[in-house]
Structure 1
Amino acid sequence: MSLFSIAVLAYLVGHPASVFTNVGFLVAFISNVLFGVGVGLLISAADIRLRSGVTPPVLPTPLFLLLAFLSGYFMPAELMPEGILKVVQNLPPYVTRVFAETAVLYGLYDWWRFTTAFSASVAILVGGLLLHPVVKRQ
């Protein structure tokens, strides 16, 4: 999702434009972009290796949807069963979403937990870059 579409969405739900100048929101957005690109590269690399011949990719869409729903963006993670909730609360998108919410709404910054999630996002991106065949060829 682009910054413009996020700005329009925030305007429609009544958030002021100053939300986008909040450092918590910006670093959380960057972390989620790194995580999304890294996971996309890893899923694509796995799909390329699993496919034989010219077949449509089957792996990316279900995995992206699973990660999207597990991140808590489409439904509150607190409504999930307790076992799944414990896993979800450690995923980088969930941690960065909670970090951005507390930063914007309350002005509280849990940098230690965010740094851990950001490091995981960077590691996933680097792993995706190293394992993806298209990137390896260049």
Structure 2
Amino acid sequence: MNNSYALPTGDERSATQNSTPNHAAILSVGTAVPEHALCQADIGRWMAEGFADAPATRRAVRSLHAQSAIERRYTCCPEYLQPVQNSRFAPGASPAAVPTTAERMAIYAREAPKLGLTAAHRAVVSYAATAATAP
């Protein structure tokens, strides 16, 4: 079959492969989280404060956060650490004050590479430590 879209087979495949074997493997994993940590219960209380005029919603928000099975959340935005009345992110904030998706994505674009670099560095350090103690 002379189809230019067909996968190479047999001799065609070995002629196109490098003579060095290519074995991919994950040798180490590194992780990184944003510097600002928040307790889930505190976030639930913070969010509930934004619904002071809606008791049923306030209870639902607290319940949702309490039952999430999440203990801690991390954020790149320290504004989440501010009292709810001072935060642009708080429920009930003026729509004009709420950060746009573009603003939030700009924070992500600025912070994500730093986190990636930290995680990669930790993976390399972890691998080096493991390799140094290997028999």
TM-score range, shorter chain: 0.3 to 0.5
Q: Which has the higher strand share?
A: 2
- TM-score of the two chains, using structure 1 as the length reference: 0.33
Q: Which has the higher helix share?
A: 1
Larger Rg: 2
Higher relative contact order (CA 8 A, sep 6+): 1
